[in-house]
Chain A
Amino acid sequence: MRYKLTVLIVFLISANPVLCWYNTLENIQSEISKIKTMKATFTQKKYLIDILDKPLVSNGNFVYKLDDSATHLRWEYTHPKQIQSVLLISGANISHYIKTNDDFVRSYATNVEVMRIVVEEIRTWLSGRLNTANFTASKDRKNDSLVILTPVNKDLKSMISFITIDLNTKPGILKSITIYENEKSYTVLSFSDIIKDAKIDNTRFTTP
């Protein structure tokens, strides 16, 4: 009898959308902001429908930390070797390095306008704000785990049509991000091997 009751409670909890962490935008933002550190690997697939018959695939890892002073992010591409690079964000400091002949060399990729916007967005999302100066967030009507970010101004819209964030069932965790430039050009970032609340040294965000 006790077993049946437990099963019933578990069923009711899982079936109840009110208790699901991504039932409202406010809940989503609140849960994301609770994550203080995270490590994960990612797979990036770039689709160019008219040009590529299969997507360009690259892999890497990221490390994230939110402390009292600031948000920190290390976003590193490890494969293929030709594009090995690392983006470092530590508070207001943003730097990008590319690997050349086994050495990391400072790059100016973040000077490219669209990259500046993307970096700024990532930083804001990680702190738990999905509605930003550049994008308006809304929940997808059909897929409950999907958040849609729409650019607010025309100039940005000419670069990025919209972004979708697919949420993991685990609170505060993202399953994937898809950046649509248009229907024929989009990038899917999928996350795996996610570790929450690990101890992460701040040098990871300042040293390539």
Chain B
Amino acid sequence: MIKHSVLLLALCTILTCSHTLPSIKQNGVIASPAEWSFFFTDKKIKLIHSIEASLPNNEQIKVIGISIISPFEKEIHSVVLTIEGIVLLEVIYKDNTVTTIRAVPPFDSEDNSVSLISDVALILLKPSVDTVTRFNISDKEILFRCITADTIIDIHKYLADYSVQMNHYTDKKLLKNTITYTNFNEDTIPQNITFINHGLFGYVLSLELMNYSFFEDNQK
């Protein structure tokens, strides 16, 4: 009985603390893809990031992530390795399907590898949405709202420093993830990306760009 009460209390706390989708009291206009998706590359690219993970039990770990993004195929080939160069995970993500090429503990569990590559896909792949509505919140902020069958995405574009914050909400309008893109370079590649998972066992991934290169044989 006590166990149930504690659980209920925890659940209530989580629900009351969770951020919900803000309502917008103005009419928006249809946004062009170039306006809202400028920070997602439309060319095939290889990105190398350092990834610092802050886990729920306050553990910190840093790894290197290599990602080959094929935007038209909506495919990511991702390799995660330790600083010492040992490959922990190599996976291919395509059409929401994950194919594991190589995985060593703790990534040999399917849950861990799928969870990680799904986060990488959310961070680096342009979301598949039909209609995006633009709202001019202030002279410093534009909001783009995309609604799909199972998620609502708010993209906040801050004009002062050209940073972007992308919030993913559940179909129940609860905040799931927040992704922040900052310090864009001349190729509009963000130098820093922060991914926050707001779940019960939430965690933070901080990505710092180490290197990138576009593929010459870029095919659609």
- Per DSSP, chain B at the interface is strand
Q: Are A48 and B79 in contact (CB under 8 A)?
A: yes
Q: Which residues of A sit under 8 angstroms from B68, Cβ to Cβ?
A: 51
Let me know if A112 and B87 touch, CB within 8 A.
no
Name B101's closest neighbour in chain A (CB-CB).
Answer: A50
Q: In whole Å, how far is B189's beta carbon from the nearest beta carbon of chain A?
A: 14
Whether A83 and B62, one on each chain, are in contact in the complex, defined by CB atoms closer than 8 angstroms, is: yes
| Given known A-B contacts A44-B85, A113-B105, A159-B104, A107 and B210 have beta carbons under 8 A apart | no
Residue B83, interface by CB 8 Å? yes
> Does B66 reach chain A (CB closer than 8 Å)?
yes
Contacts of A106 in B (CB 8 A): 60
Task: From A52, A108, A114, A187, give the contact of B104 (CB < 8 A).
Answer: A114
- The answer to the question of A195 belonging to the interface, with a C-beta cut-off of 8 Å to chain B, is no
Instruction: Check if A133 is an interface residue, CB within 8 A of chain B.
Output: no
Which of these, B83, B88, B208, contacts A58 with CB under 8 Å? Answer: B83
Please, how many residues of chain A have a CB less than 8 angstroms from a CB on the other chain?
32
A120 in the interface, Cβ–Cβ < 8 Å? no
Flag if A108 contacts B61 (CB, 8 Å). Answer: yes
Residues of A near B66 (CB, < 8 A) are 48, 51-52, 56
Once bound together, how far apart are the Cα atoms of A56 and B210, in whole Å?
A: 10
Chain A CB within 10 Å, residue with most, of B46, B60, B66: B60
Contact A83 B104 (CB under 8 A): no
Chain A contacts for B111, CB-based, 8 A: none
Chain A stretch 58-88: residues in CB contact (< 8 A) with chain B: 58, 77, 80, 82-83, 85
User: Does A181 touch B at the CB level, under 8 Å?
Assistant: yes
> Contact: B62 with A113, CB < 8 Å?
no
Give chain B interface residues in 124-181, CB to chain A under 8 Å. Answer: none
Residues of A within 8 A of B117 (CB): none
Known: A51-B66, A83-B50. A114 touches B61 (CB 8 A): no
**Which residue of B60, B77, B84 is within 8 Å of A115 (Cβ)?**
B84
Q: Which residues 45-80 of B have a CB within 8 angstroms of A?
A: 46, 48-50, 52, 59-62, 64, 66, 68, 77, 79
Contact residues in B for A14 (Cβ distance below 8 Å): none
**Cβ-based interface call for A23 (8 A):** no
A152 near B: Cβ within 8 Å? no
Q: Which of A77, A100, A185 contacts B83 (CB 8 A)?
A: A77
> Of all chain A residues, which has the CB nearest B206?
A100
Which one of B59, B81, B104 contacts A46 once the chains associate, using CB atoms below 8 Å? B81
B50 / chain A contacts, CB cutoff of 8 Å:
82-83
CB proximity of A97 to chain B, nearest CB, Å: 9
In the assembled complex, which residues on chain B have CB atoms less than 8 Å from the CB atom of A109? 61-62, 82-83
Contact sample, A vs B, 20 pairs, CB 8 Å cutoff: A46-B81, A46-B85, A48-B87, A51-B46, A51-B66, A56-B64, A80-B210, A82-B210, A83-B64, A83-B83, A107-B60, A107-B61, A109-B83, A111-B59, A112-B88, A113-B105, A113-B106, A118-B84, A158-B104, A187-B84
